[in-house]
A and B are shown apart, each in its own frame.
Chain A
Amino acid sequence: NAGVTQTPKFRILKIGQSMTLQCTQDMNHNYMYWYRQDPGMGLKLIYYSVGAGITDKGEVPNGYNVSRSTTEDFPLRLELAAPSQTSVYFCASRHFTGAGNTIYFGEGSWLTVV
């Protein structure tokens, strides 16, 4: 199993550009997440999805958009990139049934906005 796969690993964007971070999981998990990790801070939730066709905002959604057209894919779109979006982004998934389950992370995407 590949687990959670996210691409690209590294990207440099100019201010105002847009891009999509791709995330795919092959574990048939219902829940998927996008987090950002800034130096010295805990992971912050950007958006999450509880199943195909359903998405919801997390703690820091401004400047981002997501979609969940299939169980497997959960892309994160950055519109009009700003320096404040320079961060490390992690996609994650889990099979959540209310009791809590192991969460699986992608390898991370390092994004720099200049």
Chain B
Amino acid sequence: KNEVEQSPQNLTAQEGEFITINCSYSVGISALHWLQQHPGGGIVSLFMLSSGKKKHGRLIATINIQEKHSSLHITASHPRDSAVYICAVGGGSQGNLIFGKGTKLSVKP
């Protein structure tokens, strides 16, 4: 069983829809990261959180430490949101990250 599981693996949405991507993990962590990888490959960090909720523009990330679960929400989705969204968890003395396999999101106009 993978230590970081993301669902769904693939997601197709119509422009304007509310989107939720889920991440469950089985290890103790100090922080959870949500990353975005666009076609062409570059990876950027969207959020790092260890408790509660963070919001940046149309993106919202939540984490429930007790349930070992995080969600990434996109409100009013747009075709430019099409990308792979990756969940990663960090823990231990070195904080090395363990990555999920990613969720491929396609937003149609």
Which A residues lie at the B interface, using CB under 8 A?
31, 33, 35, 40-45, 48, 50, 56, 58, 88, 90, 92, 96, 98-105, 107-108, 110
Contacts and interface: CB of A to CB of B under 8 A. Distances in A.
Given A100-B48, A100-B95, 5 more contacts: A45-B96, A58-B96, A98-B30, A98-B93, A101-B48
B86 A102 contact: no
Interface in B58-103: 86, 88, 90, 93-102
B96 A103 contact: no
B27 interface: no
A40 B95 CA distance: 24
Contacts of A48: 94, 96
Contacts of B86: 42-43
18 contacts: A31-B95, A35-B99, A40-B101, A42-B88, A42-B98, A42-B99, A43-B86, A43-B97, A45-B96, A50-B94, A88-B41, A90-B43, A102-B33, A104-B45, A105-B42, A105-B45, A107-B42, A108-B43
